[in-house]
Amino acid sequence: MSSVSETGNSVNNPVIPGFHPDPSVCRVGADYYVACSSFEYFPGVPVFHSRDLVHWTQIGNALDRPSQLDLPRDSPSSGGIYAPTLRHHDGRFWLIVTNVSGDGNLLFSATDPAGPWSDPVRLPGVPGIDPDLAWDDEGNCWCTVAGVGQVRIDPHTGETFGPPRRIWSGTPGAKAPEAPHLYRIGEYWYLLIAEGGTERCHGVSIARGPSPTGPFEPCPDNPILSHRGTEHPIQNTGHGDLVQGPDGSWWMVLLGVRPRGGTPGWHVLGRETFLAPVDWVDGWPVVGELATDLPAPPWPLQPHAPVPRREDFDLGELAPRWISPRRRLPEDCTTKERPGWLTLRARGGSLDDADVTFVGRRQQHLSCRVRALADAAEGRGGLAVRLDEQHHYDLEMSSGEVRVRARIGPLSTVVASRPTPPGPVVLRIEVAAVRAVRDARTGPDTISLGIEEPDGTFVELASLDGRYLSTEVAGGFTGRVVGMYAASGSVHFDWLDYEPRDD
């Protein structure tokens, strides 16, 4: 899944680009694993594997069946699954998450991180969000949550032992102490948190104590990482997790965003997973430079097969990168009705509806081209860029016509239309990041929508400002997802091609 490229002794950050927030990492032998938040999308909690911390391949989704993740149809966008913690203990992988749209804090386990993962163990005695897991030398399992509170649990049954207690509140005056991770490193227990809110003031702070329950003393140099108040191209840095390499070096995975354009700066890909080196000085971690051009780790980079550009829908099931809002019913999304084609059957009437039939993949590059061969003879639908129900651009076919529709908050309009020839049509969306800021109001990118002639000529119907599909406009916690949808009847797709452009 990583789009990292190497130049000399450096690699590109983010290491997992696109909407992959709240990364949690663990190492087992020579293998690293990362899990990320998925919010309202199904399947939930993408899981990645790497041998070098740089090249990551998605090996599955931890929550891939309704018995694990059953989001209500009316659950809001940016609801759903928050902030996983992924750990390995006693021969098993453990994953703890919060479902803010349903069952609260849930615990899953597996012998293989690619799955299958267990059905959830519910944790009614664990309050709050962003749960963490840590085991002490006596085998006690400690669950620490945003706030920052803590309670001992039985991970097999969900039983809690005693009431939760507050163990640290972060830096005085800093809001939203969250994303706690507890580690035993040397003689101390370290408690890593995010604070300041997940926007421009986000940061990472740390405290240490003699036991998993404290008392905790804060690092005198907190925050140990923050880009608040700077012109750094990576902003909103926080929600970190530490991991030790096989050579003894330390690293942090964390989330950040890449705002573009003028003021206030718009980020459109969501919060992405970045990597930073960590040194230890006087018993405290010191985070190295977090750059878009990162020094390579001091070990050989592993051979890596990039994600295929083109999906021909020839397999019996979709690859794990394909996601849908809230649920995906087999009868509404199938590759079996027309061999070699993906057939989508409409539920909701448009992308304005929470129950729409939509299958997409995260936009992972600041500039990209997306093309799909679509047949809408039996329905209405097409290709779209989605942020949520109130913010999306659609390239929709039906009745011999293709239309560009824009939904921006309460406003919805058909921007352009033109007739289409009979038969399948290649729909095309081009996203172009801005190269220079003309004035303070310059947006982050443009999104051009149209069709492709048989000779490959792009017939543009509309070119729209990308700021309206950004977090700074729409709010929430997710990034853009580009994909296929059906708004009425059945719509068939022979292939979809996602081509990164020069970022």
Sketch the domain layout of the chain as residue ranges.
6-295, 310-500
What band does 295 get if pLDDT is binned at 50, 70 and 90? confident
DSSP state of 323: B
Choosing from 22, 52, 389, 396, which is the catalytic residue? Answer: 22
Q: CA-CA distance, 248 to 40, in Å (whole number)?
A: 38
Average pLDDT over residues 249-275: 97
Q: CA-CA distance, 447 to 462, in Å (whole number)?
A: 8
Residue 178 known to be catalytic: yes
43 near 297, Cβ under 8 Å? no
- As its CATH architecture, domain 310-500 has Sandwich (2.60)
Average pLDDT over residues 379-390: 98
pLDDT of residue 1: 45
Choosing from 130, 132, 178, 394, which is the catalytic residue? Answer: 178
pLDDT of residue 299: 86
DSSP state letters, 440-479: TT--SEEEEEEEE-TTS-EEEEEEEEGGGGSHHHH-SS--
What band does 497 get if pLDDT is binned at 50, 70 and 90? very high
Q: Is residue 91's pLDDT more than 60? A: yes
Domain 6-295: homologous superfamily in CATH: Glycosyl hydrolase domain; family 43 (2.115.10.20)
Give 4 or 127, the one with higher predicted confidence: 127
User: Chain-wide mean pLDDT for the chain?
Assistant: 95
What band does 298 get if pLDDT is binned at 50, 70 and 90? confident
Q: Is residue 108's pLDDT more than 50? A: yes
Residue 289 known to be catalytic: no
- Report the percentage of the chain scoring pLDDT > 90: 91
Q: Is residue 14's pLDDT more than 90? A: yes
Lowest mean pLDDT among 142-151, 238-247, 290-299, 429-438: 290-299
C-alpha torsion sign, points 478, 229, 25, 150: negative
pLDDT of residue 503: 60
Q: pLDDT digit string (tens) for 201-254? A: 999 999 999 999 999 999 999 999 999 999 999 999 999 999 999 899 999 999
The β-bridge partners of 134 are: 142
Average pLDDT over residues 404-426: 96
- Report the percentage of the chain scoring pLDDT > 70: 98
What band does 2 get if pLDDT is binned at 50, 70 and 90? very low
For the chain, what is the largest distance between any 2 Cα atoms, rounded to a whole number of angstroms?
Answer: 73
Q: pLDDT digit string (tens) for 455-485? A: 999 999 999 999 999 999 999 999 999 999 9
pLDDT of residue 303: 84
